[in-house]
Amino acid sequence: MNWWILFGCKLTGWSSEVLAQCSEASRSQLSKYTSALLILILIWGVTGFCFAQRYIGLPWWACLIVSLFFVTIVIMIERQIILASEKTVSMVVFRAIIAFIMAVVGSTIFDQTMFGKDIDKQMTNTIEMQVAELTPQRVRIIDEKLQALHTETESLTKENEELQADVNAHPFITQKSVSRTPNKIVLPDGTVKTEYISSVTTNQVENPKQKIIDMNSKTLDNLRSQEQIWIQKKQTIEEDTRKECKESVGFLEELEAMWDIITTRKLAGGFYAVFFFLLMSLELFVVVSKVGDRECDYDAAIKGAQRVRIAQFNNTFNRINNQEDILSTS
């Protein structure tokens, strides 16, 4: 048994031991299943890689993991068909529904990758429309911020001017302090009495309003710094908005752009339809082969082994039941 047959057994889930006892027709059928499955693996491996790279922005090694995840799902789905022992209508309908969904998803991701430059052009127009809509709103918000800062700055400046005028007129103020000094007096009867003598001291101190001016000056510096920051933001608001819109472009935005392209351009729409039906056909290839092909000796061997094992179990159960009946009657 060559490597291709062994690889096909591992991929499809067929038993290499059973296949070794079968005819060449079974090996040919396995080769057909393996080839069809490899086509789907390649398609969905590339699809998963492109999706992870373009829309999730993962590094190449993470894209490979996503690609492997897509491939695993495809293998598990196709194995449900290949390993089915009976050909039923429900199996065909179920696989056809999955094929339709996978064809839509696959052709969409592939077309978004292949129409990348056209989508980028379409997104440029969309982004400019978003910028034209968002920029005036953000400019209005910045103007409100600047107006509030300007009002607060004017208020503090006016307050400082009034305080400074008072400080200039009265740079120092007179501060009085009262102190009491104890004085002991001996009375005629020999008792001692303590009296307190008050004294007033006058000092020239700096006007306390100067400290308020200094605090207000620091606040004004902070307000002017904030005002400059908002002025700079206003000057670059359009470019910042455009950059933000470009960075926030996701799968749905590009999907809408691609839909506009395939619905307004006949060539793009035709290409999408061709690719969709191609993927649909490839997705249904395994189930069509499974339903259309005659039963090979491998399938007959699997069903025969199943019937033999069921008959063995039934005989064993019947023998046990008979022994139990004999014991119960005795």
Does residue 319 fall inside a structural domain?
Answer: no
Q: Express each pLDDT in 238-268 by its tens digit.
A: 888 888 887 777 777 777 888 888 888 888 8
Distance CA 143, CA 54 (A): 38
Give me 79's structure tokens: 């194995």
Which of 38, 92, 37 has its CA nearest to residue 288?
92
Question: How large is the greatest C-alpha to C-alpha distance in the chain, in angstroms?
Answer: 146
Q: What is the pTM of this model?
A: 0.59
Q: Could you tell me the residue range of the domain that residue 253 belongs to?
A: 1-167+210-308
Q: How confident is the model at residue 11 (pLDDT cuts 50, 70, 90)?
A: confident
Does residue 183 fall inside a structural domain?
Answer: no
Domain count for the chain, please give it.
Answer: 1
pLDDT of residue 69: 92
Q: Express each pLDDT in 202-226 by its tens digit.
A: 677 777 888 888 898 898 899 889 9
Does residue 42 fall inside a structural domain?
Answer: yes
Instruction: Tell me if 82 sits within 8 A of 33, measured CB to CB.
Output: yes
Instruction: Tell me if 180 sits within 8 A of 196, measured CB to CB.
Output: yes
Long-range contacts of 206-211 (CB under 8 A, 24+ apart): 206/171, 206/172, 206/173, 207/166, 207/167, 207/170, 207/171, 207/172, 207/173, 208/173, 209/163, 209/166, 209/167, 210/167
Does residue 185 fall inside a structural domain?
Answer: no
Does residue 184 fall inside a structural domain?
Answer: no
Does residue 261 fall inside a structural domain?
Answer: yes
Does residue 41 fall inside a structural domain?
Answer: yes
Does residue 187 fall inside a structural domain?
Answer: no
Instruction: Tell me if 122 sits within 8 A of 260, measured CB to CB.
Output: yes
Instruction: Tell me if 204 sits within 8 A of 188, measured CB to CB.
Output: no
Q: Express each pLDDT in 70-105 by its tens digit.
A: 999 888 888 888 887 676 777 778 878 888 888 888
